[in-house]
A and B are shown apart, each in its own frame.
Chain A
């Protein structure tokens, strides 16, 4: 037989005593092969066993563990085991591993798949409701803090507000402009394709004007800002939470909501309407370019037609939603950031959650607004 890295030699003395000698390198490298062999290892007949470890070349924790489990199994099989033959340099490790003892017996829990699913469903539902309740009370907290700041405006962190206006507003212009322009192009192209069948190409301007000003401009802006800035809020505040900066703020007698949340919320409530207006213009511009290119509608015609198609309420209906969406995005972003607990992983999970939740809420609120406006006949 080929020489292995580690092996066991067994012999039986005349008095019936087994003599097992461990040889070679009992270490990590040998462990894979050894554990398979040792699992099947058994001695015929009873009798005492003396396990000789004094002629090993090397032993590490894994080797010591394997030898220790071997002796446990032999004992369980009714053999008396003598472990006295061991070199002193190995004895300390062997004893340390033996002290660890067998694994704790785990109570096998029985799971029923359908019950599990029911439990998970219930848990998710309760968690969702709880999240809604907590968000609502967080909104209350922000409102109270806002109220305090209106009474005492000198406490407002003006520099922080400006910083966040720059971060969430100015820096978002390129991406938002490009995307809105492209949406305008796509809408004009698709709309023209359908309207041409009725010979009503010019009405593509009405389509663009109403849909972009009422819905698409503000919705695109809110979704992009939720992805860009809502996530940033969660990550910033979450990292501060991990570094215990949030705790430091509280112990210094400062108000976390006043210092971290209100400037972000205020900044977003200022920038989002502006961004939405910018997105409206860029979307209409994209539509106008496309109309000119495929339908030969000149810019002059486009603007004249737009004047007839849209009225001020169309524009206002779009923009009035912006501060509300801004508050929701900032609130969810900050709330999830403050929920971060200790680990780097929770920053990641909660950032994802914050984006999903704020986009969800934005679209739900948009639907609520639609219903509301239809009641108001706007």
Chain B
């Protein structure tokens, strides 16, 4: 039996609450009765082997894929069968950074960041442009990046621009899909630090799908591991004591050890 159990309602205020989630693709069952709570203000890292449905879980919480069964609550609202207006309002309170940035290639970075501002608020154009500039700078991009097109940016800059767009509306929850994938170690560490700083200053809750053990050890408060079609949540220390073979191999493997050493 797992050393900790997440099926009990969490004592702390949960901004994402998943209960009994079942996901099926044809005969293949990806999630079977998965429960998960994400607490307000924490950075949760989600890990799991290839094909365990990390990105699928992310898309289900965002409402991009419908689960076969189960309930997903986002900020206290059941995401299934939400009226259109409430669904839009809920979307304005979440920000997503997709794996490859997913910037609109026909717009400049500043225009990309202004899309949610224009769509969800009635700010004067000059103020919206200023807010976009502030977000771009807060995401660690140089001032001249706003006028550039995504095709002119490097991979790391695209991620930062995607982050600026995700943060445009000051969301409550920030979803990150493999934020450090494709970045060099220095860039990845800087990006981790950026996420941590923004999380503190903006009071974000961060749901981060990642493979990067350094990110897990350095910025995540808790780690959710997808194993056996369910999820096990705990701190790094708790997972280190877990005897499940995959979890043991993951955290005690050479890379896991190296990341922990770097941290200590």
Contacts and interface: CB of A to CB of B under 8 A. Distances in A.
B159 to A, nearest CB: 16
Contacts of B134: 61, 65, 97, 100
A29 interface: yes
Nearest to A103: B133
A343 B135 contact: no
Contact of B201 (A93, A101, A342, A346): A93
Given A60-B170, A345-B106, A32 B151 contact: no
A61 B168 CA distance: 9
A155 to B, nearest CB: 34
A27 interface: yes
B94 to A, nearest CB: 14
Contacts of B203: 89, 93
A21 B82 CA distance: 39
B130 A61 contact: no
Interface in B145-164: 149-151
B137 A100 contact: yes
Contacts of A145: none
A35 B124 contact: yes
Contacts of A60: 170, 202
Given A27-B170, A32-B124, A61 B131 contact: yes
B138 A97 contact: yes
Contacts of B1: none
A31 B133 contact: no
Interface in B105-128: 105-106, 121-124, 127
B168 to A, nearest CB: 9
A35 B117 CA distance: 15
B30 interface: no
A305 B148 CA distance: 67
> On chain A, which size bracket covers the interface?
20 to 34
Contacts of B138: 61, 96-97, 100
B143 interface: yes
Contacts of B137: 99-101
A35 B202 contact: no
A343 B108 CA distance: 12
Given A92-B200, A345-B105, A65 B151 contact: no
A60 to B, nearest CB: 4
B22 interface: no
Interface residues of B, number: 28
A253 interface: no
A236 interface: no
Contact of A32 (B105, B121, B135, B143): B121
Nearest to A349: B106
Contacts of A344: 105
Interface in B169-225: 169-170, 197-198, 200-203
A342 B151 contact: yes
Nearest to B120: A28
Given A32-B122, A96-B138, A100-B138, A61 B202 contact: yes
Contacts of B151: 341-343, 346
A31 B121 contact: yes
A93 to B, nearest CB: 4
A62 B131 contact: yes
Specify which of B105, B121, B150 lies most central, judged by the most chain A CB atoms within 10 Å of its CB: B105
Contacts of B106: 343, 345
Contacts of B198: 96
A99 B130 CA distance: 14
A115 B216 CA distance: 57
Given A96-B138, A343-B149, A104 B131 contact: no
A92 B201 contact: yes
Contacts of B130: 65, 103
A343 B137 CA distance: 24
Contacts of A29: 121
Contacts of A93: 201-203
Interface string B222-253: 00000000000000000000000000000000
B123 A31 contact: yes
Contacts of B201: 92-93, 95-96
Contacts of B124: 32, 35-36
Contacts of B135: 61
Nearest to A60: B170
A358 B121 CA distance: 45
16 contacts: A27-B170, A31-B121, A31-B123, A32-B121, A32-B123, A32-B124, A32-B127, A60-B202, A61-B134, A62-B127, A89-B203, A93-B202, A343-B106, A343-B149, A344-B105, A346-B151
Interface of A: 27-29, 31-32, 35-36, 60-62, 65, 89, 92-93, 95-97, 99-101, 103-104, 341-346
